[in-house]
Amino acid sequence: MPVFHRPEAGNRRRWKRHLFSCLCSPRTASTLGMRSHPMPFRRLAILVFLCFSASLASLSAQTAPVQVQARMAQAQIQPQAVPEAPVSKFPRVDVLYRDFSSSCPNAADPTGTQDSTCALQAAIDYADSQTIGGQVASLYFPAGSYRISKSLRLPCDLQVLTDGPTASAITLAPGVRTNAITVYPPAHSISDEFLCAGGIDGLMIAGSGHENTGTLLELINASGYRLNDVKLYNGGGRGLALLGSSERIESHNLQIDAVRWPIVMTVNANEDHFYKTNIDGPGVTADGYCFNVNCVDGRFPAANAGSPTPIRPDPHGAVWMEGVNVGFYGGSIKSLEYQPAFHIVVAQSNTIANFYFENFPDHDRPNINSSVIVGGVYPSTKLTSPLNGNSASVEDTSWFPDYASDPADVQKYLANACYEQDWIMPADFAWGDSSPSSAVPGVARDQYEKVCMAGMAGDGHMYLTQRHISSGAFASTAPAGINWPAGSIVHMINSTLAYGSGVTLLSNHFGALLPGGSGYAAQCNDNGPNTCGNIIAGVIPDGYFFSASSRAAAPAGTPPASLTLIANSLWPGNQESLGTGYIKVHSRAYITILGAPPAIPLHLQTDSVLHGAETSSDVLPVVHAVQYANGTSAQVVLSRPDAGSWIDTYHGFYEQAVSTNDPSMGSNPGIGSANGHQFANSSCWFDTGTTQSPHAAHRFCLTGSPGPSAGWEFDTWNGKTWVSTFSVTDENGQGRIRLNGSLVLGASNAKISGVSGDASTLATVKGPLTPGHLVMVDANGNLRDGGLPQQGSSNIDTLPSGFGGGGGQAFASTAPAHPVTACSFDRDGLTAPLENQPVCIVPHTGTYEITLNGRASTMGSSGNLNAVRVSVATSPGAGVQSCATDAAVRLTTGSMQQFAGPCTLHIEAGQPVTVSTETSGIAGNAAYGVSVLMKQVQ
């Protein structure tokens, strides 16, 4: 009798439901012959016993830790009962036909007992030799499991048929290190040179564990190939590899389970489309051997309670994506316990839609692998033999995408291509260190050779097609003809990461990242390869291809990532250290996010957004441009219509809609919340120009913090430069503002308050001015119509002090019939001379009448005010116009003097007007004042 254990309290409800369902099942009753008759006690007891056992087994299966989440069990690749089909040799070539074993040890064996390699290859070769109207015959695998000991080679125009999904399987024998199936271009001509037109329908291709290090299904230059209901299972190499020019591949219902590297697409995998792709257990084989960066000899490290075991994120994605117009539509990749999901390195107009990314189960370990990486860390290895020609052995070929198990395939099909580019670097490579390398004679420590690689191969060698590339991006810096010794670094590079629209992520589910139990510590660090985040955008500096201490300081040299996210779901949480809910940006990235409204941020940002440090922190996903140890930051351009935000850290631009009760902002006047926009530095609106005059004529700008002052300004374009017409600035942060510039009013007798004291005033009156009236600038800087001369201020010495060198002086003139512009400047209490002190910038071109006034000290001290000069620079090379007096004034006199004027100067709009003074012998309490008055007369 079996020993039954009482289910745990949390599982009893599921156990009871399963038991009840079993007891009430018509199939159960039918099996025991009880559907139409009363149930005898003995049969009832049997039924209860069977259902009770099945319920416990089901519960155990649900609650026990799963070492490998893989849908394909060994039982599924055993022969299945299907109707027998007639054994034929042509046109549907049955692999069991007797002729195919004539030169082999035995016939193809569907039971998997004997090696079927020879007979299966004979059947393939025969099918490849037969045509009907130019079309190749099809190859038929009756139901069964066929064991092979080396790669089957299929021409890409051959169609493989079976008795249905999972009915037929090919299984590599244990320890075999070759491919299971290699699809290659046929030697004979095909009906359409652009389309192989072959494919595999309903076949399962399996390995026998981690020692099968070849590729289960390798396609080389197989454009137009089709996969339907293909299952790949239990391999320590690659699952599906698309090499060379494998364009227009079409896949339906692809299942890959318990494979170290499920899908590898190299750079010419353009226009490939995958419909319903499920990947379970990437990075681990069915025998429990794992290939995660933390795994040692296939075993994940155990927890350590005393000093928690550090766990790093793995840089190797389950799908290596390259190409243009590549699409994955529907599917899942889980669990991400050992590997990230997608690793994208070259992309234009690529799409990942309706995918489910999940990190469960975590086995109480940190689960910190990303769902999507665009850029990330590129593969590297070391030479184990000198590179004197175009080939050398390397330490590890495992994670280089351009890899063919058979070196002959590399040399035959890929030898003339430059699909992958690499750097060869000295073992002591260091950015910015130009000292001689101790590892390679004749090479500096920061030099490298750029090469074209045909591919890595199963013999452990790399094969090059070109050495010392001296042009293009990241060209060689090392001298030509270097014999690189063993130990030199081989590092993949890429000058293009994402261009055009890059990658679109549409309606995907991103799983949470988890810290793990108390015996583990998530080793997340944004400074390098240990970056943690649901999504990573940009090349991660690893010290070789890019370095955070040098290249990241000028990330314009790095290839940017381009991402568009539409209606995706991220598991709740925005924990920056783990990257849950985050897009981590390295180097450079352009990102657009559209989510489900309402998504207006509920909290304000600080100036950290100018560096992309954290954006819309309460609206997922959070975009975070990481800051490196040397203080430099990655750069990001973020467009986020769903949250009303725009960020460009290249130029320091930030603007975002806000709807919040955040106390840092307060509220709108009369509204309980702060509905509006938040910006940094400055935000302007520009009008449009015309075809004849394309430059904008006006701009309206808000300035704010961080910055020296806040306010608003209105500027006009004078054909050469922007001219500040009017502005309002915050003077002291206590509600006092400063008005600057000119105002045009519709009434001639309006009074405009200017600024008196150590500043300039520019005021303009435009309207029905009455000739014969006085236009006056009084001691407070006001421009006004003074009426008739006898009604005006005839005794200007009685005006309030504070203007014109301390008081008593004003500017009065008869109002002409055209606009008047008055520009004034005054300074009191001066001892040192003035050197080109700005007076104002006049917005209108014309002739101006200028009067210079001064006031000497009354303190009885010595000193002279020798000269006062107003200057305006004309166009370049035209000299300087000036208005000046050289009559010295003794400061002991305490007198006021009109130094010069009125004189006239021609001033172009936008030209600065400055004042200078010359002094001598000023001592003690002596001081002087000076004022400048201007009006436009033509």
The string of DSSP letters for 559-618 reads PPEEEEEES-EE-S---TTTTTTEEEE-SEEEEEEE-PSP---SS---GGGGGTS-BSTT
Average confidence (pLDDT) over 630-643: 87
User: Residue written as tokens 């090479």?
Assistant: 443
> How many residues comprise the chain?
938
Instruction: Decide which of 719 and 55 is more confident.
Output: 719
Handedness of CA 574, 578, 580, 581 (dihedral sign): positive
Give the per-residue pLDDT at 751. 33
Give the Å distances, CA to CA, from 372 to 55, 295, 351, 659.
39, 22, 12, 31
**Amino acid, res. 323:** G
What are phi and psi for residue 836, nearest 5 degrees? 50, 50
Counting residues of the chain whose pLDDT is more than 70, the rounded percentage is: 73
Between 776 and 865, the higher pLDDT residue: 865
The three-class DSSP label of residue 538 is strand
Top mean pLDDT of 41-50, 364-373, 716-725 is at 364-373
- Write the DSSP assignment of 614-628 as a string of letters: -BSTTSSSEEEE-B-
Assigned token pair, 42: 């003995």
- Predicted local confidence at residue 299, as pLDDT: 97
Residues 831, 832, 837: CA angle, nearest 5 degrees: 115
Domain 74-291 is classified in which CATH homologous superfamily? Single-stranded right-handed beta-helix, Pectin lyase-like (2.160.20.10)
* pLDDT value for 162: 96
CB within 8 Å of 904: residues ≥ 6 apart: 847, 848, 849, 850, 937
Residue 659 has pLDDT above 80, yes or no: no
Segment 75-100 mean pLDDT: 73
Higher pLDDT, 374 or 657: 374
pLDDT band of residue 834 (cuts 50, 70, 90) is confident
Q: Residues 151-185: pLDDT tens digits?
A: 999 999 999 999 988 899 999 999 999 999 999 99
Non-local (6+) Cβ contacts of 751 within 8 A are: 782, 783, 784
**Picking from 247-261, 316-330, 551-565, 794-808, which range would have the lowest pLDDT averaged per residue?**
794-808
Position 789 scores a pLDDT of 60
C-alpha to C-alpha distance for 277 and 275, rounded to whole angstroms: 6
pLDDT bucket at 276, cuts 50 / 70 / 90: very high
Omega into 621 within 30° of 0, i.e. cis? yes
Strand 131-132 to 135-136 pairing? antiparallel
Count of C-beta atoms within a 10 Å radius of residue 441: 11
Mean pLDDT of 488-517: 90
Return the closest-CA partner of residue 798 out of 808, 784, 813, 812.
808
Q: What is the pTM of this model?
A: 0.75
Q: How confident is the model at residue 88 (pLDDT cuts 50, 70, 90)?
A: confident
Domain boundaries, the chain: 9-63, 74-291, 301-378+496-659, 380-493, 684-738, 742-936
DSSP 8-state assignment for residue 367: B
pLDDT averaged over every residue in the chain:
80
Tell me which residue of 654, 633, 637, 653 sits closest to 645, measured CA to CA: 654
* CA gap 938, 679 in Å, rounded: 42
Strands 449-457 and 420-425: antiparallel
Q: Tell me the per-residue pLDDT of 867-923, one tens digit each, with 9 for 90 and over.
A: 778 887 654 544 556 676 656 666 666 666 666 666 777 777 767 778 888 888 887
Statement: residue 770 has pLDDT above 80: no
Q: Which amino acid is at 425?
A: M
Q: What is the pLDDT of residues 728-762, one digit of tens each?
A: 877 665 556 666 665 554 433 333 333 334 445 56
Higher-pLDDT residue of 35, 94: 94
Note the pLDDT of residue 225. Answer: 95
Q: What pLDDT, on the 0 to 100 scale, is given for residue 60?
A: 42
CB 315 within 8 A of CB 282: no
Asked whether 96 and 107 are in contact (CB, 8 A), the reply is: yes
Asked whether the predicted pLDDT for residue 535 surpasses 70, the reply is: yes
The four Cα atoms 185, 191, 192, 196 give a dihedral, to 10 degrees, of: -30
Residue type, 434: S
Task: Specify whether the CB–CB gap between 274 and 331 falls below 8 A.
Answer: yes
Rg (C-alpha) for the chain, rounded Å, is 41
